[in-house]
Amino acid sequence: MIEQNKYCQFCGTHLVRKYDRSKMRSFCEACNVFKYVDPKVAVVAIVPSNNTILLIRRAIEPHLGKWSLPSGYVDRGESIENALVREVFEETTICASPHRYLGVFSGKGPVIVHVYVATHKSGTAKAAEEVSEIKWFELGKIPELPFPYDQEIMSAYKTYLHNL
Ligand SMILES: [Zn+2]
């Protein structure tokens, strides 16, 4: 679901829906302004090793207990590449660096996801922040991944491998 505020964050008035040119948006009749809701930006890392990739088991909501690709939100002012390095390190303690840009995935909710294939530079992966377990999974044995673009991401990764 796209997150929308119900009330104006400046004056507290209940927002109405109204056409802003061609698009229906939330509108504050007291402030006389449309409310634009920005997307969130996230980065996802596929870290391969031989025929495996690194997955983390989430120790936080959403999808607590599910296996997932290392990922996280990009901070304002931070480059996507730096966010990847930071998030992979925070979750797995390995140093990884972006290797190939796999693509951008958008349109399914509040988050726009940029995906890189990353190179494992140094360190041994272990469960760190917000992660309960870590494992290198063979590509044929990847568990069901919980986020909206995961299937598309894995399919883009297989195409990438095929074209190497
Ligand atoms: Zn208002």
By residue count, the chain amounts to 164
Q: Which of 103, 123, 121 is nearest to 113 (CA)?
A: 103
What is the whole-number distance in angstroms between the Cα of residue 21 and the centre of ligand 1? 20
What is the whole-number distance in angstroms between the Cα of residue 2 and the centre of ligand 1? 20
What is the whole-number distance in angstroms between the Cα of residue 13 and the centre of ligand 1? 5
What is this structure's pTM?
Answer: 0.89
Token pair for 155 = 């399919």
What is the whole-number distance in angstroms between the Cα of residue 12 and the centre of ligand 1? 6
CATH 3.90.79.10 residue window(s) in the chain:
40-139
pLDDT in tens, the chain (164 residues): 455 789 999 999 999 999 999 999 999 999 999 999 899 999 999 999 999 999 999 999 999 999 999 999 999 999 999 999 999 999 999 999 999 999 999 999 899 999 999 999 999 999 998 999 999 999 999 999 999 999 999 999 999 999 99
What is the whole-number distance in angstroms between the Cα of residue 28 and the centre of ligand 1? 5
Give the right CATH number for 40-139 from 3.90.79.10, 3.10.450.50, 3.90.190.20, 3.40.50.720. 3.90.79.10
Q: Which of 153, 2, 125, 104 is nearest to 56 (CA)?
A: 125
What is the whole-number distance in angstroms between the Cα of residue 26 and the centre of ligand 1? 11
What is the whole-number distance in angstroms between the Cα of residue 3 and the centre of ligand 1? 18
Cα 133 to Cα 58: distance, rounded to the nearest angstrom? 8
Q: Spell out the alpha helix ranges (H) of 42-122.
A: 80-92
What is the whole-number distance in angstroms between the Cα of residue 8 and the centre of ligand 1? 5
What is the whole-number distance in angstroms between the Cα of residue 111 and the centre of ligand 1? 26
3-state secondary structure at position 16: strand
Q: Which of 149, 143, 146, 135 is nearest to 47 (CA)?
A: 135
